[in-house]
Amino acid sequence: MKSKRTHRGAALLILVFTIMFLVVVGRFLYIETTQEVQGVDLNKWAEDIRTSSYEIDALRGKIYDKNGMVLAYDRPTFRLYAIVDPNYSANLENPKHVEDPQKTAQALAPVLDMEASEIEETLRDGIATHEDEDEDNNRFQVEFGSDARNLTQKQKEEIEELELPGIQFIEEAKRYYPNGTFASHVIGFARTQDGAISGVTGIEKQMEKYLQEEKGAISYERDKYGTKLLDPNTVMKEPDHGEDVHLTIDQKIQTFLEDALTEVEEQYNPEKIMAAVMDPDTGEILAMGNRPSYNPNDIGNVENWYNDIISYPFEVGSPMKIFTWAAAIDAGVYDGSDLYKSGTYRPTEQSRRIRDHNNGEGWGTISFDEGFRRSSNVASSILAYEVLGQERYREYIEKFGFTEKTGIDLPGEQVGRLVYDRASEVITTSYGQGSTTTPIQMLTAASAVANGGQMMRPYVLSEITSSDTGEVLKEGTSEVIGEPITEDTAKQVRDLMESVVTSEDGTGQSFKLQNFSLAGKTGTAQISDGPRGYLTGRNNYVFSFMGMAPADDPELVMYVAVQQPDLEPTELGSEPVSYIVKTVMENSLHYLNIKPDKDQSPTVRTLSLPDVTNMSVDGATERLREDFEHVEVIGDGQEVVTTLPEPKSQVLENQKIMIVTDQPTMPDLTGDSLRDVHRLANQFNLNVEVMGDGYVRNQSIKPGAEIKENGYLVVELSPPSPDGEQSTEEPPPETELEQQNADLESEEAESPDQG
């Protein structure tokens, strides 16, 4: 009986073990056949475990000015990390991981500007994970937050010299703007988020689809120590670099503008400055600037993000009279010799009285031509309300584009508001009050006056090129968007505008250029204070000027507005505006080699720079000093390689000339303009980083040092002293043009618009 039970038990156990064996063997056979466990592909899992992959950085497209100067590019920065896994060094003679957290932290702290204790704590926390039994918590490396990101090449080299085991770097790209505030509202800025760079404002935003890059990737199989296998099955996806964007902005004209804006900002501390220069024949924007401005490399404390030239509608004042007179002339209802009674005007008994800017005293009975020169509100009111009529005048306002956006290829454009329901609103619109418009609308309308009646669409995109091949992918083109007036009308209006500057009774005498005729219109507009009417006080105006030169065939059109400058009791509101206009217009026309149409001052002659290439340095120096006062030799060589500016270019006789020898060394740049710095940088392929505005005060490469191609030159700029000169050296020749004595203007007491 006992034996029988024993046999049955043994048989049962054999059966159970047999079933278990079959299950296990069956499972193994299933895994071997399907290579899968609980839905996990074992082949793929093994491949993932032994595969390393990483991204390959791609570069965002560069932004250039029209002459090829780089305005924005990706600059390499470095992110520091520390390897804390001791297994990484297991089979190596020298340690490749952090062995001494305290020593490492103390060495890194001063370079990273961090507390040593904070670094040490991060390192020890990382190392401690390897003592944890949970392998999922183990960390191979640790990082140190924002303080260890965006490190410069210099910081990286300092840390590498410390030879700290386990300290490594990852190279990353950061958007960089080498000229600081230069055209910052046009260029805009791009921000790095989650490893990707994307445009936020300006051209960086507008041209995002062209500038944007796409990172590549590479993967390969490795062993547990990170060593690539003999057959690593490498897979690579090439990075796709962004395309390059070329602007119509001209670096030299933009620099003239930036320098002038900075000077006025320093001296007058206005609420706003808005200025732009356009080529009226094409619509190209050659320069555009605002104050307050900002440095896109440092966006921590920005006063004004907006490009006011395109996004700030306001009551522009008397420059609007240009288009009121143009409408009357073009409609065939204007006779400049016709007389009217100046002083005050009341179109109907229900209307409020319109006053000329000299407290309504006027100048007696004068012609409409004289009324334009004197910026008479009464004259413009009569032309709009009586001579043209409400409907016909509105048609011209619309033809000049004041009711719609210009379509400029920049983000954030706004449009002014036409207030035009009542007779009084028609009248105030005629002299730029009540209705609002933007500076870019004003420039666009003025292009018709400068360009024989053809109104051009403003644009800033010159072309887009492939960053790989240089092939032109897209071009900006000139576009006529209207012909509001005839060529003959445009000529008559320019003649009237020129008389504003040249006539004794004109309001723009202080805007006269030295070598070029100038057609223009001044403005002193009140600032709206909402329901309370307008601000009061002699500073609470927008002082402006619309000008074009040379008057007979304009090459440049410029609009400048300065809002609420701090004026001394003896200063006129036109003074900061005229400084900007004269400085930028005069220098820009000379730079463009436009033939002067007025007698030149003997102190500012334009000369052709002789070609002294291959001459001896002594001979070249002697030859150039016959015509030029400022001649500097770069280096200790005996033979001339070239000159800066280039041989045979047109230059002012008091402009600085640099002789580049066959053994060049870094010159002393103190007191030089940014233009001179870029001439030097372009010659030697230097990467320039600019700090501040004005003229060179300090430089990173010492005078006399070797110039290394593709090296980095950092220059610190400072504005001229209040007397207009550098404290260290004479100012650049562009600032030495003799200023005309400012004539008193009758516009100062004008209300509601003062001319």
Residue 534 backbone phi and psi in degrees, to 5 = -125, 150
Question: Which of 184, 293, 311, 318 is flagged as catalytic?
Answer: 318
Q: Which helix (H) or strand (E) holds 289?
A: strand 285-291
Q: CA angle, corner 65, sides to 61 and 67, nearest 5?
A: 120
Q: In the chain, what is the greatest distance between 2 CA atoms, to the nearest angstrom?
A: 147
**Element counts in the chain: helices (H) and strands (E):** 20, 33
Q: Which helix (H) or strand (E) holds 19?
A: helix 2-34
Q: Mapping DSSP to helix (H, G, I), strand (E, B) and coil, where does residue 741 land?
A: coil
Identity of the amino acid at 193: Q
Query: Is the distance from CB of 582 to CB of 739 less than 8 angstroms?
Result: yes
Q: Mapping DSSP to helix (H, G, I), strand (E, B) and coil, where does residue 78 land?
A: strand
Query: Is the distance from CB of 563 to CB of 535 less than 8 angstroms?
Result: no
Identity of the amino acid at 494: R
Ramachandran region of residue 662, left (φ > 0), alpha (ψ -120 to 50) or beta?
alpha
The DSSP bridge pattern shows strands 70-83 and 167-176 to be antiparallel
Q: Mapping DSSP to helix (H, G, I), strand (E, B) and coil, where does residue 626 land?
A: coil
Angle between helices 101-112 and 153-161 (to 10 degrees): 150
Cα–Cα nearest to 688, from 704, 658, 666: 666
Active site residue 318: yes
Cα–Cα nearest to 52, from 184, 193, 211, 232: 232
Distance, CA of 262 to CA of 674 (rounded, Å): 13
Distance, CA of 522 to CA of 4 (rounded, Å): 125
Q: Hey, how many other C-beta atoms are within 10 angstroms of the C-beta on 121?
A: 13
Q: Is the peptide bond before 645 cis (omega within 30 degrees of 0)?
A: yes
List residues with catalytic annotation: 318
